[in-house]
């Protein structure tokens, strides 16, 4: 679909009134087009006014919801990790502050080396290892998603600190840029490695695996940075498999 | 965030607290928005029990993946309603509920005008929303109503109204813009963010 065709569909998309294949094409486009994103956001707000018919929620429903929260407590108390947003911008700058002072410690505490393979034979082996790791019962996995919810990569972390990034689906960057992977520990982002401009499969080592709560990927200058300079493009929480 | 200040907390702050597994924050989000979520789902599904399931899903999803809500991308209310709408539409379009859908009188929905439950919503806002809707050309209003409250795709709306798909597509888009402009003019939802 062309940009124009997509634009024509935005209103219908905001009302969930497009076919599945159109929806997929639009969401792909929205990931890279702020103007169309803004239009969808406005349409959704209008729709919310239409849908905002008020009235109380049925009695007893909250109790059922609360009960199901207790039945299946979430595995980790993770501070929200959200790509983009004013609230997050503040957190990133806080991270930056923490990371500056902690940079030396971080470099010692964490394995920053990442093997990113471009050679296909090595990549196949790495891919197999990554899938094997992901299937282990003691592995923790994070689905890294964009703000639109698009799955852009999976991060796998084993109890011994070995980690893999796989199923990476990120647009290729200019050679002056690189993707960088961050482990989220408390409110801090700790570099887990520089991924290069077109990552496919990668492996990394984290020396503090149990405290890692999630992962995020940013777009940084080639060579990588000690602390994130940009908002995360994608992020996700680790969950036990 | 202390429990007693949650009532005054912004929606965005509530979601931060939900991300820290604060059940009281989820309860507050529920208190604020569950009524709207429920009534939208019921309006689409025509079934209270199914609508309750949708409410439950929407709030459990907020609990499990609060990071999917981005305050820069709109209000929590529109996010939750969009989630509920998407889920309700999925149910409507699924094979099992086809019968349910056939029983609904879609044309009546399209032509029955816009009806809002006024007792809870701010009267002033309700009035302006109703006015904005009434101010739309009939064809745009029908297309939006069939798509949003009927849960139809624009192609289906085109068939129902016996109009070209391209026409319906652009009527929905133009109508939504027109709504936005008249709501903004009435001083409602101006910045299109927090309510």
Percent helix, strand and coil across chain A, each to the nearest 5: 40, 25, 35
Give the DSSP H or E segment for B179: helix B165-185
Segment B160-181, tens digit of pLDDT: 999 999 999 999 999 999 999 9
Q: Is the pLDDT of residue A220 over 50?
A: yes
Taking Cα atoms as reference points, which of B177, B180, B142 lies closest to residue B161? B142
Which of B14, B25, B168, B172 is best to mutate for the A interface (most A CBs within 10 A)?
A: B172
Beta bridge partners of A25: none
- The residues near B127 (Cβ < 8 Å, ≥ 6 apart) are none
Q: Where are the alpha helices (DSSP H) in B46-164?
A: 48-64, 76-93, 98-102, 106-111, 123-134, 138-148, 154-161
- 3-state secondary structure (DSSP) of residue A202: strand
Q: Is the pLDDT of residue B90 over 60?
A: yes
- 3-state secondary structure (DSSP) of residue A207: coil
Region A153-169: what's the mean pLDDT?
90
Lowest-confidence segment of A30-39, A67-76, A186-195 by average pLDDT = A67-76
pLDDT, averaged across chain A: 76
A49 vs B195, higher pLDDT? A49
Give the DSSP H or E segment for B31: helix B23-45
- pLDDT value of position B110: 38
Region A52-56: what's the mean pLDDT?
67
- The residues near B74 (Cβ < 8 Å, ≥ 6 apart) are A41, A44, A45, A48, B192, B193
Segment B63-84, tens digit of pLDDT: 988 888 988 888 899 999 999 9
Q: Is the pLDDT of residue A44 over 70?
A: yes
Which of A27, A35, A51, A88 is best to mutate for the B interface (most B CBs within 10 A)?
A: A51
Lowest-confidence segment of A16-20, A75-79, A219-223, B185-189 by average pLDDT = A75-79
Region A98-126: what's the mean pLDDT?
46
pLDDT band at residue A83 under the 50/70/90 scheme: very low
In chain A, residues 80-99 whose CB comes closer than 8 Å to chain B = 80-87
**B90 min Cα distance to partner chain A (Å):** 9
Taking Cα atoms as reference points, which of A192, A178, A197 lies closest to residue A118? A197
Q: Is the pLDDT of residue B49 over 70?
A: yes
B143 vs A106, higher pLDDT? B143
A37 to chain B, any CB pair closer than 8 A? The answer is yes
Region B16-43: what's the mean pLDDT?
88
Chains A and B form CB pairs within 8 A to the count of 215
Cα angle for residues B142, B145, B149 (degrees, 5° grid): 155
Distance CA A178, CA A199 (A): 9
- A48 → closest Cβ in B15, B70, B75: B75
Distance CA B19, CA B29 (A): 13
pLDDT band at residue B153 under the 50/70/90 scheme: very high
Per DSSP, the residues of A162-190 read EEEEES---PPPPTTEEEEEEEEETTEEE
Distance CA A50, CA B148 (A): 9
Lowest-confidence segment of A78-92, A117-131, B111-125 by average pLDDT = A78-92
Q: B193, B74 in Cβ contact below 8 A?
A: yes
Give the DSSP H or E segment for A142: strand A140-145
- pLDDT value of position B189: 67
């Amino acid at each position: 679909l062309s940009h124009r065709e997509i634009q024509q569909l935005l209103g219908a998309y905001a009302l969930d009134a497009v076919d599945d294949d159109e929806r997929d094409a639009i969401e792909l486009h929205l990931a890279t087009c702020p103007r169309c994103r803004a239009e969808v956001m406005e349409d959704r707000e209008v729709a919310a006014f239409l849908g905002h018919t008020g009235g109380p929620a049925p009695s007893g429903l909250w109790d059922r919801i609360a009960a199901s929260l207790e039945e299946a407590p979430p595995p980790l108390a993770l501070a929200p990790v959200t790509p983009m947003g004013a609230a997050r911008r503040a957190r990133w700058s806080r991270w930056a502050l923490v990371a500056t002072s902690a940079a030396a410690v971080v470099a010692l505490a964490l394995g920053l080396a990442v093997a990113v393979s471009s050679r296909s034979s090595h990549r196949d082996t790495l891919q197999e290892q990554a899938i094997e790791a992901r299937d282990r019962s003691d592995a923790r996995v994070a689905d890294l998603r964009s703000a639109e919810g698009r799955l852009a990569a999976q991060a796998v972390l084993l109890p011994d600190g070995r980690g893999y990034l796989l199923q990476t689906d990120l647009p290729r960057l200019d050679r002056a840029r690189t993707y960088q992977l961050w482990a989220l520990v408390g409110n801090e982002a700790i570099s887990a490695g520089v991924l290069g401009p077109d990552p496919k499969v990668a492996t990394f080592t984290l020396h503090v695996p149990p405290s890692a709560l999630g992962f995020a990927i940013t777009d940084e200058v080639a060579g990588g940075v000690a602390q994130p300079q940009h908002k995360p493009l994608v992020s996700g929480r680790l969950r036990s498999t | 965030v202390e429990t007693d200040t949650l009532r005054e907390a912004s929606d965005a702050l509530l979601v931060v607290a939900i991300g820290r597994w604060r059940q009281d924050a989820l309860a507050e989000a529920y208190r604020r928005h569950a009524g709207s979520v429920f009534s939208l789902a019921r309006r689409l599904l025509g079934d209270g029990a199914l609508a309750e399931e949708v409410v439950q899903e929407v709030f459990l999803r907020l609990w499990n993946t609060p990071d999917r809500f981005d305050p820069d991308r709109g209000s929590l209310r529109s996010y939750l309603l969009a989630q509920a709408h998407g889920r309700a539409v999925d149910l409507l379009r699924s094979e099992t509920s086809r019968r349910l859908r056939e029983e609904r009188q879609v044309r009546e929905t399209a032509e029955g005008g816009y009806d809002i439950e006024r007792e809870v919503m701010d009267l002033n806002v309700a009035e302006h929303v109703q006015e904005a809707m009434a101010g739309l050309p009939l064809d745009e209003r029908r297309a939006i109503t069939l798509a949003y409250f009927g849960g139809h795709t624009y192609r289906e709306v085109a068939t129902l109204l016996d109009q070209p798909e391209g026409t319906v597509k652009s009527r929905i888009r133009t109508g939504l813009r027109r709504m936005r402009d008249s709501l903004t003019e009435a001083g409602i939802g101006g910045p299109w963010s927090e309510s």
